[in-house]
Amino acid sequence: MSSGVSALKITHERFRRSLSLYGMMTSDVPSLLPDAVRRSYAARLGLALAVAVVVMVGFGAVISTQASATLQDDVEGELRTLSETRTAELDSWIDGVERDAVLTAQLEPVRSGDVATVDDALTRTVDAGTVPPDVAGIHYLDTEEMVFRASTVDGMEGVSPAEQGAPFATDPPTFDGPDDTYVTEPFSVPVVDHPVVAVVTPVPGVEDRALVFMADIESRSQALADGNNDTSTVVVNGAGDYVAHPNASKILTPHQGMNASALAAGETTFMEHGETLMATTAMESKDWTVMIHSPRETAYALGAQINSDLIGLVLLAIINLGLVGVTIGSNTIISLRRVSQR
C-alpha cells in the first residue's frame, strides 16, 4: 500500500515539473498576446472562442454575398427569358393573324364577289374555330365606298369604318400584291366595346375588296398575364402608348417611362427602376416593345429567406460553440487549479 502511495507522489511531482518546464518554454517564445491573456487559461479560451465566432460570421457573410449575387443573376436571366418568350408569342400571334387573313381572302367563295356567298364562307370559317385566338370578327370591306358589305359580327354590315374613325379607313393602305397585309396600331371605335388591332389584306381578283380581321387586344393582354401574379406584362408601341396592359383601362394611354423605341428589333435589356425590376424586348413584326415588370421584393424573396436561414444557422453554431467552450473551459480550469494546489 505504501509503495502505491509513493508511486502516486512521484507521478504527481513529475507532472508539476512538466507544467513548470512547459511554462518556462512558452515564456521564451515570442507572442503577440498581452501578458494578461497569456497567463490566464480562461482569457486564452475566451479569445479563441471570439476568433472562432469572427471566422464563422465572416464565412456566413461570404456565403450570403455569393448567394445574393447568384440570385440576382438568376432573376435577371429569368426575366430576360420571360420577356423574350412573351415577345416571341406576340410576334407569332400577329404573324398567325396575317397568314390566316391572306389564306381566307384566297378562298374561292370569298373571291366570288357575291356578298351572300362571302358572308356564308366567313361565318363558316369562324364557326369552325380555325381563326387565331382573340380574333373578334372578320369583315368584307368595300374599299371604294369604305363600307362593310359582309361581316361575322352582328350589326357590322353596312357600317362605315371611316365614319367610326378606324385608321385603315381614314388613311387606307396600299398593297403591292395579293399576299400583302397591313397591321394597324391599336384603336377604338364607338361600334366596338374594346380596343382592337386590325389586319387588312386585299381579296385577290376582286376589285376594291379587302378582308379585315379585327382582334381584341384587351383579350390578348389577358393572355399575356402571369398566372402566379409574380410579374406583369405590358406592351408599348413606337408612339409611346400602351398596346397591352393588365389594367385594360390603360390601353391606348401614354406610357410613362423609358423610351420604348430605343431598342433594335429582337434586342433585350434589363434594368432596375426604383422598387421594380424590368426586362424589355423589341418585337420583330411591329414597332412594339414588350416589358416584363416584377417587384424587387417578390423577385428577391428567396434571397431574403436564404439570409434569414443563414443568420439562424450562424447564431445556432455560435451558441453551441459557446456552450462547448464554457463547459470544457470550466472543467479544465477546475482541474488545473486542483493540480496546482497539490
User: Residue 95 and residue 92: Cα distance in Å, rounded?
Assistant: 5
pLDDT value, residue 123: 94
**The amino acid at 119:** D
User: Residue 144 and residue 203: Cα distance in Å, rounded?
Assistant: 13
C-alpha dihedral, 70 to 76 to 81 to 82, nearest 10°: 120
How do the pLDDT tens digits run along the chain, 342 residues long? 445 445 445 444 554 554 454 444 444 445 555 655 555 555 665 666 676 667 767 666 766 666 666 667 777 888 889 889 999 999 999 999 999 999 999 999 999 999 999 999 999 999 998 899 999 999 999 999 999 999 999 889 999 999 999 999 999 999 999 899 999 999 999 999 899 999 999 999 999 999 999 999 999 988 887 655 678 899 999 888 999 998 889 999 998 876 666 788 889 998 887 778 889 999 998 999 999 888 877 656 555 555 565 566 666 666 766 666 566 655 555 555 555 555
User: Residue 81 and residue 192: Cα distance in Å, rounded?
Assistant: 35
Neighbours of 236 (CB within 10 A): 24
CB hemisphere CA count around 154 (13 angstroms):
0
Q: Which residues pair with 141 in a beta bridge?
A: 148, 210
0.85 exceeded by pTM? no
pLDDT value, residue 317: 65
**Bridge pairing between strands 232-237 and 242-244:** antiparallel
pLDDT value, residue 15: 45
**Hunting for cell 493540480 — which residue is that?**
339
Cell of 331: 472543467
Could you tell me which residues come within 8 angstroms of residue 125 by beta carbon, excluding any fewer than 6 positions away? 104, 107, 131, 138, 152
C-alpha dihedral, 202 to 203 to 207 to 212, nearest 10°: -60
pLDDT value, residue 26: 46
